[in-house]
A and B are shown apart, each in its own frame.
Chain A
Amino acid sequence: MSAQAAPSEENQTPAPAKQKTGAELLLDALQEQGVEVIFGYPGGAVLPIYDALFQRDSIRHILVRHEQGAAHAAEGYARATGKVGVLLVTSGPGATNAVTGLTDALLDSVPIVCITGQVPRKLIGTDAFQECDTVGITRSCTKHNYLAPSAERLPAIVHEAFHIAKNGRPGPVVIDIPKDVQFERADYTPRAQAKVRDCVPATRVSSTQIEQAVELMRQARKPVLYTGGGIVNSGPQASAALRMLARETGFPVTSTLMGLGAFPASDPQWLGMLGMHGSLEANNAMHDCDVMVCIGARFDDRVTGRLDAFSPNSRKIHVDIDPSSINKNVPVDIALVADAGAAMEALIHEWRRRNAANPHDKARLDLWRRQIEAWRARKSFSYAPCDKAIKPQLAVERLYALTRGKNVYITTEVGQHQMWAAQHFHFEEPNHWMTSGGLGTMGYGLPAALGVQTAFPDALVIDIAGDASVQMTMQEMSTAVQHDLPIKVFILNNAYLGMVRQWQELLHGGRYSHSYSASLPDFVKLAEAYGCVGLRAERPDELDSKIGEMLSVNRPVIFDCVVTQEENVFPMIPSGAAHNEMLFGDAEARRHEVSAKGKVLV
């Protein structure tokens, strides 16, 4: 369908018949933006859009079972493909149900565009049926939002919304469209003619700062590259630049939860994830380093622990595309406001230029490397094996081992299973790991897996889940069956709200207040009820064969992996503690007294 109306011969102004309805203009604009799939749920205030959708085959629609699922599916799609994810929901409850997903996307910098229906313009403010102040409610959980004032303005708004979703630090954008605007006729505004605003002024990497940064890096004896989701967001060339930067400098690399995959886990310079449940070598390297190069991460509290004891003796370089992330939590010495990929390429270029004149002495790092190897030898992710019951760590390890070499995408829910997945599943490539880091949304993983599977129908998409989290969006199994999305939901079932239970054990004297899930559903029967495949493993000796069975099925699967109930995630930096005050095992954890200050922190 042509985006521009053919010029009329008789009339200067286009005849009304050539004009299109707001609903059609919306779909034209989405199509021009390259949208192939929409996750949505119809309702009264979006019926004209669904009617227009009915008449065109070029945009696929995935019918979710709850609008939160649509938002997470759009997030999963966006994070796996690097494109903007799109969801379409109705007014009132449709919009409010999407709020969790929008907030999740804001905190994790995921580009999504959410289209919401609204009551007709004349009814706005009258408490009409299914009316809510969508732009008011979503103002603080989006990068920007719009109430489309007319069909004429709608296409330009859509074009700007897509630009804003991707520009600078990515994030969610809402377009609220009153129902009468969807019927109103107007002319289309092509993308090239739409005015768009930037979120942050486009900046060039300052060569002086690059020179200063490289000078600092060359002097380092104990450097570390602290990387984050900004590298994944920047695109595959940024991951390539990171690998090159690490190879050129010989610096060890750690990453936040969000950045896993940007640097290959098999590389000897890889330290593992850092932070509250990160590896000993990563956290100690952060604490003891003399030069920290932070690229596309934001000194989040899960990473820094106690701020006044955070990496006390280091000079810090911070690369971030969002100026508000700089000096927000931790003051830095050199701040580069830039795209992660572009900044790393500039660093590599300057590093090489300096090396040509005066080669960098790699032996400067020998002591540091030896120290890191000593920490690594502690094997901080290890756990006590058990031959009677399945340890959750073992389950993730076996899942990793049995899926190696396959094109596998992992999503997770939030809690203990998420940390075990981050510790024991290893990633070689970016965009293969989808988890809710900032908001910590239980129920994220299952719908996110649907989004990934929609983008890559032939890939192996596994949601590593917990028995509690998965029930928050369990109804989306119905979506998986309806749309032939063969996702695998791998539940580490310990019958507890595991992370809550762990904190209650360590911080609240073992008083397990409401953290035990009595009367869990029979997940195998539940799978069958949804029309998918249910599998259960209860003993270590049947784990591999059951996982093999799961992988051989080309249909959605719920895998109930019954694991030991009282396993805790270690190592752990308790709340309010510094990076070098890690706890390793249960005995040590019980001896540890969390300070009153620490207890207040989340």
Chain B
Amino acid sequence: MADDAPPAPIVADEGPAREAILAAIVDNEPGVLARIVGLVSARGYNIESLTVAETDVERHTSRITLVTRGSDAKIEQIKAQLARLVPVRRVIDVTQERDALERELALIKVVNAGEQRVESMRLAEIFRARALDTTHTSFVFEITGARAKINAFIELMQPLGLKEVSRTGVLSIRRGTGVD
């Protein structure tokens, strides 16, 4: 740490950080997204991805899924803070639920030629990615899957001419007959 950097706050040891996918079922009313995002940033947490849309027209609720990082204690604190908001009906820790499904969609552009081009095509097949757009020197792949799978695919594309990535952020739903 540099000399002029402020010392870390004096707090109890927090433990290792983990990635957490949190889903909030919220009343679809003006400002609800701003409330969630504002709370997360005001308390110094980080949002790695965020998706939101109305999901139940009759009950007028939306599902907000966000990915964040932190120690177990910090994730618990984020969950409790989110649950305190009036329009938030419930908060689900997708990462902790055994019966949760998660999916993300990504568009990935690679610019390459020759051997690299063949290799990227082969890897795309293995990952069940689809070529949405092709030129003689580029592909745009579409891939869906769990966040970890997409991260792995992007990493593999890195040496093969990866140019640009666009991701939707994580969606989640429960397996089986149970609903949130």
User: A residues touching B (Cβ–Cβ < 8 Å)?
Assistant: 135-136, 139-140, 143-144, 147, 164, 197, 199-200, 306-308, 322-324, 326-331, 576, 596-597, 600-601
Contacts and interface: CB of A to CB of B under 8 A. Distances in A.
Contact of B80 (A197, A306, A323, A330): A323
A307 B12 contact: yes
Interface string B125-138: 00000000000000
Interface string B65-88: 000000001001100110111110
Interface range for B = 20 to 34
B34 A139 contact: yes
B35 to A, nearest CB: 6
A167 B35 CA distance: 19
B10 A143 contact: no
A601 B10 contact: yes
A327 B77 contact: yes
A169 to B, nearest CB: 8
A307 B7 CA distance: 15
Contact of B77 (A200, A307, A328, A596): A328
Contacts of B11: 307-308, 329
Contacts of A327: 73, 76-77
B178 interface: no
A135 B13 CA distance: 37
Given A139-B35, A307-B10, A331-B73, A147 B30 contact: yes
B12 A330 contact: yes
A298 to B, nearest CB: 13
A197 B86 contact: yes
B12 A324 contact: no
A143 B86 contact: yes
Interface in B52-103: 73, 76-77, 80-81, 83-87
Contacts of B44: none
A324 B10 contact: no
A93 B12 CA distance: 42
A324 B42 contact: no
B7 A199 contact: no
A-B pairs with lowest CB-CB distance, top 8? A324-B80, A144-B86, A323-B80, A597-B7, A324-B81, A307-B11, A307-B12, A140-B42
Best-surrounded residue of B34, B35, B38, B84 (most CB of chain A within 10 A): B84
B31 interface: yes
Contacts of A331: 12, 73
Nearest to A169: B84
Contacts of B31: 135-136, 139, 147
Given A199-B84, A199-B86, A600 B7 contact: yes
A331 B72 CA distance: 12
B16 interface: no
A323 B91 CA distance: 13
